Structure 1
């Protein structure tokens, strides 16, 4: 394994380096007020307060409360975050195994969701994936990973979720007890009032022409009956998030059966999109026919194009599937699955106020949509009707995470141009830090991409200062919190979690926040502290991925310690999926995009997924790395 050594004196530490280490320092023990005030001694949560709680929802919210704690450890944060995460996953799983699902079965069976949609499972099991990445050698993580994946590969006879012949998951609700058709039953299966924010799932239910009609209980019951009839059987697009659970088992074992399942299932949905004129349908019946229970319509499925979120949930599912297939095969053409869907929406877009607003939803052409919106920027008429055109509606700025994730995986110039085309001119979030109400404390993909292009040079300092403000805001909320625990909802802990990792992931690992509905960490580099024998940056070391270009990275590392050297191993990607071809040290005068800069060192051949850097006291090093992306078989762990 090649070894490099820093020799350039540090001088005045760069502002980004000092701020980065300050963020690590501020995060070191912010878990304490959370654990002391909001979690019981046995690790169980304060919600639900009723020991006889019943329902199928909210296990995901419980897990989400800790989803970024393992990531902080992985980055080099306090080991306590890993220990607490392992403990909390066990405690929450046990806690929700005691609650009834409403059908005579626990919410969690065999330590897993008994049967729920993958929009929510993806959100919840993001915590589990991060835990496996941070602690792949933990025996419980490995055993659960293999067992959980088996629920979707028919390896558990009590969970026949997958039709191997037709390549479909049999229900929108799936889990450790198989297709959960039972969770669509109950009389009446109501269309609840809170869903009024998302509009009507169907426009052909007698007596229901607009959202206000749902206020009448008989109408809510009628809509619920139609939803149950149409949505309870067959596969839906959101189920693509299940590919991460199977990919997770592959990363532990390397067994071909897991890779083959992911490829088979993703390929099946790609084929359905091709059959549907390029737009991915959101439903397929148990016979394999698109629109089987929807009168032949390719839209209307559970968490599909019409209801409740449209592209928000479809985009996550498609990006997750494309990323997983790319990672496991090394074939980046899988990103075309996501690219074509973004392009389809772009073609349907409406230019308004100097920007392109794309439709997030599709429903029966000719329907009128009028309901309370929960997101800004959606086109409406003067009297409040939501603009629709040829069945497409909810025209709005596209969230930048979709085109930025696409570009980050493909590194195609055309994808970066697509991200520019879809910029949000309402808030200009590609050139400034915009505070966003994101559950993962993220939302700054556009600004990060601009930085990597050289268009937002002080982004590292700005995002780190923003992260410090986020931490203080959450801690102040905890200090001033007077809410009665009896009034807590299922997400009470999410909005009190002071851990923020977006800036650290972007700057140190060259990685966007994972797709929130169940994506893996897709990174440019990862680190191993050689002296401490653990993942992440060593104490006093700061890292900055300055450029990400086709086959090329620029990485800066700084040792702020004036007395002690630091030794770390740099890995290509979170799973060793990238191979470093060569490294070349760049001098101060070398522009990051100038491959022939005067004063740069000669290239050092690496030809490995890893290399070692020794950082002398108060020194820095800046490297141009030639990278063969997705050239290695990905795996958990950091074995040499």
Structure 2
């Protein structure tokens, strides 16, 4: 492993570095009031209020409440996050194994979700995937990873979650009691109206007696829609099931067993073939014999969590994006980016341009009633004016040639596409999909999102030199998020008896978007079960644990297909820090060379000056010696750096992406194994 020394003094610590370390320190402190007030000492949750609780929903919300805690540890969070993460996973798993679903099983059976859709499973089990990076040596984490993935390889003789002949997960709900229709069949009792339904519209436009969502307020309407849902949606494969590829990929990262890689490739390739058969667009319902629309009158749309109901592209895009990334990671094949690219291109072809912004349709369905409410701003009405959330003035959402819910594209999807491919055409697509009427790439905007993220366009602008203040501004924003939640907890008067299943989520003070982007050069993982995808990872070489060492800050300032530029700073004034850099989240990339900065004049070894040979004057009036560039050969997934006290170093790292077999292998484990 190549070892370099960072010895160039900074004298004035960079503001971004101070903010970065303050953010880490604040999050280290901020979980104490949450744990003390909102979680029992044994780790169990204050929801539900009764042990007699019955239902199939909300296990995901419990795991989800801590989804980013192990990832924070991986970035350099306090050691307690490792023990807290394990403690909470064990406690929640034990607690929710007590609750009945009303369908003949407990909510958790054999330590795993009894059977639910992958929109929710993906949200919840992200917590578990990050634990693999956090502590891959833990035998319980590894054993569960293999056993949970084995559920989808039919390794439990009593559980069938996969049809090898037709290459499908045969039902929209799957889990430890097998793929099943039992949960959706419960809708034959009636799809009774609830307030949340008014934001999502109807599943179908051809159910007799159900022409608007208000018709489900009647017993006849509720029964009619409920039976239609069970008839058309309960059976067959859906794109959301692609999120199961993360569970199987996670097992591969632990073991390297080729059976997991083979399953992911086979399953993703099957969906790609179906999409090609459907003219490029991914169909959202595949029948039990593998035919598109088999149980839905031959229609390629109208499946469970599909193109029509409830979220459209929001859930479709998660499945496609996660699957494409997992296949690309395991197969080291960049062509899998085309799976996501094609979907974005097809939707973009239908775009409506208003005020210079491309409004992309998120949903597809039959002609009918589109007068439902919207939870977000900027969805086009039928007169092509823009809506304001909750104030639609009895207008209908624009429906055009089957497409509806036209809105600016969420930046997460084109950003992840560009990040996967690093191709110019995808960068151009990303820039073309910005919201030009209400710019979202040149300043920090408040977003209410589960992952506390949403600033992908602004981050990419920073990488391109268009938004130089982004590091300081996103870190300041992240700090404000934490202080806001701490204040909320201090002044919280809500009665615990009234807590909803997301009560911890809305109080969780861990926010990682800025740290991921700036330190790892990484977008936030796709929320419904995406694995971390990053250019770099760090390990503390002195204490042999993941993450940036104490007092060390990092800033990735440039990304191209074969180059990553990062600056590292040691803010400690008296102690040296030793950090190992890894190429990729799972060592999937390879360093091919490095140009780095040192102090002094040019050397006879071919080093090149980065600036003047005279002393450089700082804004404070202090003078510092010039930085000199040197070059070194490297052909490894790891590189070690000794950072002297009060010093900084800039590394321009040559990289070959997806050159290595990915794994959770840590550098000291590799050294021990020779």
| TM-score interval (norm. to shorter) | over 0.9
Match of 2:303 among 301, 304, 327: 301
Residues 193-216 of structure 1 show CA distances to partners (whole Å, capped at 9, x for unaligned) of 222211001000001112222222
Alignment of 1:181-192 (within 5 A): 181-186=181-186, 187-192=188-193
1:427/1:588 CA distance change after superposition, 3 Å? farther
Matched, 1:507 2:518: yes
Q: Distance in 2 between matches of 1:12 and 1:534?
A: 29
User: In structure 1, what is the equivalent of residue 231 of structure 2?
Assistant: 229
Deviation at 1:601, TM superposition (A): 2.8
1:160/1:192 CA distance change after superposition, 3 Å? farther
User: In structure 2, what is the equivalent of residue 630 of structure 1?
Assistant: 658
What is the SS of the residue equivalent to 1:607? coil
Q: Distance in 2 between matches of 1:200 and 1:514?
A: 30
Residues 265-284 of structure 1 show CA distances to partners (whole Å, capped at 9, x for unaligned) of 00000000000001010110
Q: Distance in 2 between matches of 1:7 and 1:588?
A: 7
Deviation at 1:477, TM superposition (A): 0.5
* Contact persistence 2:167–2:267 (CA under 8 A): yes
User: In structure 2, what is the equivalent of residue 239 of structure 1?
Assistant: 241
1:55/1:285 CA distance change after superposition, 3 Å? same
User: In structure 2, what is the equivalent of residue 374 of structure 1?
Assistant: 375
Deviation at 1:285, TM superposition (A): 0.2
* Contact persistence 1:285–1:293 (CA under 8 A): yes
Residues 162-182 of structure 1 show CA distances to partners (whole Å, capped at 9, x for unaligned) of 010110001000000001211
TM-score of the superposed pair, with normalisation by structure 2: 0.92
Residues 141-167 of structure 1 show CA distances to partners (whole Å, capped at 9, x for unaligned) of 101000000111111122211010110
Q: Distance in 2 between matches of 1:204 and 1:596?
A: 72
Alignment of 1:66-215 (within 5 A): 66-186=66-186, 187-193=188-194, 194-215=196-217
Match of 1:352 among 351, 354, 357: 354
User: In structure 1, what is the equivalent of residue 335 of structure 2?
Assistant: 333
User: In structure 2, what is the equivalent of residue 262 of structure 1?
Assistant: 264
1:429/1:457 CA distance change after superposition, 3 Å? same
Deviation at 1:597, TM superposition (A): 7.7
Residues 209-268 of structure 1 show CA distances to partners (whole Å, capped at 9, x for unaligned) of 122222223212210110011111110010000000000000000000000000000000
Q: Distance in 2 between matches of 1:184 and 1:438?
A: 28
User: In structure 2, what is the equivalent of residue 581 of structure 1?
Assistant: 592
What is the SS of the residue equivalent to 1:44? coil
Q: Distance in 2 between matches of 1:436 and 1:158?
A: 44
Q: Distance in 2 between matches of 1:348 and 1:184?
A: 32
User: In structure 2, what is the equivalent of residue 47 of structure 1?
Assistant: 47
1:20/1:137 CA distance change after superposition, 3 Å? same
Deviation at 1:637, TM superposition (A): 3.1
Match of 1:547 among 551, 558, 562: 558
Matched, 1:408 2:408: no
Q: Distance in 1 between matches of 2:457 and 2:45?
A: 35
Q: Distance in 1 between matches of 2:665 and 2:89?
A: 20
* Contact persistence 1:73–1:536 (CA under 8 A): yes
Give the number of equivalent residue pairs.
634
Residues 386-405 of structure 1 show CA distances to partners (whole Å, capped at 9, x for unaligned) of 10110000000110000001
Q: Distance in 2 between matches of 1:35 and 1:293?
A: 47
Query: Could you tell which deviates more after superposition, 425-434 or 152-161?
Result: 425-434
1:54/1:548 CA distance change after superposition, 3 Å? same
Residues 53-103 of structure 1 show CA distances to partners (whole Å, capped at 9, x for unaligned) of 001000000000000111111111111111101000000011000000111
Q: Distance in 1 between matches of 2:598 and 2:328?
A: 35
User: In structure 2, what is the equivalent of residue 460 of structure 1?
Assistant: 471
Q: Distance in 2 between matches of 1:424 and 1:81?
A: 37
Deviation at 1:367, TM superposition (A): 2.4
Q: Distance in 2 between matches of 1:197 and 1:218?
A: 21
* Contact persistence 1:362–1:391 (CA under 8 A): yes
Residues 570-629 of structure 1 show CA distances to partners (whole Å, capped at 9, x for unaligned) of 00011000000000015799xxxxx99855534211100001000011110001100000
1:311/1:596 CA distance change after superposition, 3 Å? farther
Deviation at 1:315, TM superposition (A): 0.6
Q: Distance in 1 between matches of 2:340 and 2:535?
A: 20
Q: Distance in 1 between matches of 2:7 and 2:184?
A: 65
What is the SS of the residue equivalent to 2:633? strand
* Contact persistence 1:69–1:499 (CA under 8 A): yes
Match of 2:293 among 291, 294, 300: 291
Deviation at 1:562, TM superposition (A): 1.1
Matched, 1:605 2:633: yes
Deviation at 1:300, TM superposition (A): 0.3
What is the SS of the residue equivalent to 2:629? coil
* Contact persistence 2:61–2:502 (CA under 8 A): yes
Match of 1:517 among 499, 509, 528: 528
Q: Distance in 2 between matches of 1:53 and 1:221?
A: 25
Alignment of 1:353-502 (within 5 A): 353-364=355-366, 366-381=367-382, 383-502=394-513
Q: Distance in 2 between matches of 1:180 and 1:286?
A: 12
What is the SS of the residue equivalent to 1:367? coil
* Contact persistence 1:576–1:634 (CA under 8 A): yes
Deviation at 1:190, TM superposition (A): 2.0
**What are structure 2's unaligned runs of at least 5 residues?**
384-393, 601-606, 612-627
Residues 403-440 of structure 1 show CA distances to partners (whole Å, capped at 9, x for unaligned) of 00111111111111111011023431111111100011
* Contact persistence 1:442–1:513 (CA under 8 A): yes
**What are structure 1's unaligned runs of at least 5 residues?**
590-594
Query: Could you tell which deviates more after superposition, 188-197 or 330-339?
Result: 188-197
Q: Distance in 2 between matches of 1:109 and 1:426?
A: 50
TM-score of the superposed pair, with normalisation by structure 1: 0.97
Query: Could you tell which deviates more after superposition, 599-608 or 239-248?
Result: 599-608
Q: Distance in 2 between matches of 1:85 and 1:602?
A: 42
* Contact persistence 2:356–2:437 (CA under 8 A): no
* Contact persistence 2:361–2:407 (CA under 8 A): yes
What is the SS of the residue equivalent to 1:173? coil
RMSD, aligned α-carbons: 1.5
